Structure formats: C-alpha cells, structure tokens
Amino acid sequence: MKGISIQRPGCIEVVELPMPELQEGEALLKVLYGGICGADVASYTGNQPFTTYPRIPGHEFSAQIISVPENDRGLKPGDIVTCNPYFNCGSCYACRKGLVNACEDNQTMGVQRDGAFCEYIAMPVERLIPGKGLSAKELALIEPFSIAQHAISRCEIRPGDSLMIAGAGPIGLFALLAAKLKGAVVTVTDVLEGRLEKAKEFGADHVVCMKDENADEQLRQISEMHGFDVCVEACGLSATFLNCITYACQGANLILIGNGKKETTFLHSILLKKELNVFGSRNAYTADFEALIDMVAAGRTDILRMVSAEYKAQDAPAAFEALVHNDGSLEKVLLHMADPS
C-alpha cells in the first residue's frame, strides 16, 4: 500500500508500505481524510522532540471499517469512524487514576508511533469512535476540536463569562467554538490580521491585533478594566502566556493548551496576588470526541469552515511545505486519502 513518510527532517515522501498485520482485537481501516496537525509539521521540520525517523505522520483522520472483530458496540464493515489516537499504557499512576490522556508513556499516532497517513491502518476496536452520520471530512476535524473542547472543559465557564484566547490558529479557533457553545463572551488576540478575520467569522465577540500600538488599551477596555474571567493560551509562546497572566482578573482561570518550546521567566508572586487558577490541558478523552460528534450532528456548530485547503495524498509534500510557509491564511489543511467503498 501507499503511505506518507517523513524520512528525516525536511524530507517527506510517498512510499510503499506493507499492509497492516492485524493483532487480536484490531479492525482494519481504510483511511479517508487526514488533517495535518502542527505536531506533524514540527516532525517534518525537525522541531518535534518526541519524533523518531522515519515516521508516518497523522493523528487527525476519518476512516471506513474494512473488517472488524465481533463486538458489542454495533461496529461493522462499511461504517465511517474516527479514532482516539493517544495510546496509553494502562498501568502507570496517571492511567490508574483515570488520566489516560496524560499517560506517563503516552504514544500519540504520528509522533511516538506511526500515524494514519497511509491507505490502511490497524486499530484496536475500543479506539474506534462511530461517526453517527457525519461526513468523512467532518470526522477528520473532530480530533483537533476535541483538544480544544477538553481544554475548555478544564474549568467552569458560565454563560456571560469574559474569555480571552491568545492565538487564532486552528486550536485557538476550535477553542473559540467550544467557548461560544458554553455562552462565553470571547475575545481573540493574534498578531496576524487574517487570522483575526477568521476569528470574527467564527463568532468572536472582539478581536485584538497585538501589533497595534493600543492593543493594551483595547484589552483593558474590553475587559472593563478588571481583566478576563478566563484566559486561554493557544500558542505555546512565552509572550502569550505572560499576556494571559497580565490580562486575567483576580481569581481568574488560566488554561494552557499551547505546547511551549522555550522556558518562560516571570515573578510567580503575581499568581498569588491575583489568586489565579492554572490548568494544563493535554490530549482529550474519548468522551470529548463523542460529545463533539453529537454536537456537530445536531447542527450546533459548523466545523467544515475550518478547512482552508485540501490536497490529494500524493501531493502531501506540497501540503506540508505550504504549512511550513503559512502566512496565517491557512487554518486546517486536509489530505484526501481515499473515497469510501
């Protein structure tokens, strides 16, 4: 079968791979669509510390069941599904506590283990998530939406709460959708005007370009001079993390989604002074996937507008290069791997 392989940093190729050998309890899936995550791009550029090479990327995907063991979930050949791609050990302290998303030996598809960017994959039946009638494109967007949904669920958000999201990339925009579903009044910040325009389209109540000379004044006016109830960091940058602390009100909740790559230095007394609550967020639960599939199926939000571009599988190298040189106009890029049978 054909597969997409990052041979080494800067080198991605379409290669020949053997068909998957099914283990007990595994289903054979035909991959339909795959979304290119920032982690996949980091693996391509050599900036993902957990990636070894060669590596098949991809953990945002939809697939059709080709064969599946007998099961009590009603899963059968022909069904269109997505999957939970975060493999956990099941035995570490985090897993025993139920924090399977934060497993001490977490292996995310496309990073610590091979991913879904190939014609066929084998997946444990318990990781299959029924699509409930959603299209293959929509299902390929559920995983990144789940990341944001899980983050927004880390603390209580009430209707009318003021919420600031630092970063209008795909995860920031999905966090915007998740926060709006909870009734929050959302302000989105970024340095790219194009991304802020997209945030407006997705329902942001306010947007602020941090390159504006009066950005600080704008944020203080929007938050009525007392700061925001919730600040969400969705970039992984020191500056945006510090901005979240600066613009948080007393007793605010800070949610960290962005995966930082550099150390941040600050006087931690500000956390005490404001009595801030800081929530880290990692991966998602299967329940997050299922809840979002229900929301999208019920028409509560349109996630297809997140798609900026679509490439055929054989054009994956061009898709990755486009994202490496993204000027902010690209949000979610999909690879069309195959049509359902």
302 with 245, same domain: the answer is no
Q: How far is CA 74 from CA 24, 41, 80, 121, 128, in A?
A: 18, 36, 12, 20, 11
pLDDT in tens, 196-235: 999 999 999 999 999 999 999 999 999 999 999 999 999 9
Q: What is the dihedral of CA 310, 311, 316, 322, to 10 degrees?
A: -60
Percent of the chain with pLDDT over 70: 100
292 with 207, same domain: the answer is no
Mean pLDDT over residues 60-74, rounded? 96
299 with 170, same domain: the answer is no
Is residue 341 in a domain? no
CB atoms within 10 A of CB 325: 8
203 with 319, same domain: the answer is no
CATH number at residue 105: 3.90.180.10
Host domain of residue 167: 155-280
70 with 135, same domain: the answer is yes
The answer, yes or no, to whether residue 260 has pLDDT greater than 90, is no
Is residue 36 in a domain? yes
Is residue 220 in a domain? yes
pLDDT in tens, 303-317: 999 999 999 999 999
Give the separation between CA 31 and CA 336, rounded to whole angstroms: 9
291 with 142, same domain: the answer is yes
136 with 213, same domain: the answer is no
Percent of the chain with pLDDT over 90: 96
186 with 92, same domain: the answer is no
Q: How far is CA 31 from CA 84, 117, 173, in A?
A: 14, 8, 25
Looking at residue 155, the DSSP 8-state letter turns out to be: S
Per-chain mean pLDDT for the chain: 96
pLDDT of residue 187: 98
Is residue 111 in a domain? yes
251 with 182, same domain: the answer is yes
Mean pLDDT over residues 130-135, rounded? 98
Is residue 24 in a domain? yes
pLDDT of residue 53: 96
Q: For the chain, how far is it from start to end, CA to CA, in angstroms?
A: 16
The answer to whether the beta carbons of residues 185 and 215 sit under 8 Å apart is: no
pLDDT in tens, 22-46: 999 999 999 999 999 999 999 999 9
The answer, yes or no, to whether residue 259 has pLDDT greater than 90, is no
- 232, 247, 280 — which closes off a domain? 280
- 232, 258, 280 — which closes off a domain? 280
136 with 163, same domain: the answer is no
290 with 142, same domain: the answer is yes
34 with 117, same domain: the answer is yes
Is residue 323 in a domain? yes
Is residue 87 in a domain? yes
pLDDT of residue 261: 82
Angle between helices 316-324 and 38-45 (to 10 degrees): 90
- What pLDDT band is residue 150 in, cutting at 50, 70 and 90? very high
How many domains, in total, are found in the chain? 2
Is residue 190 in a domain? yes
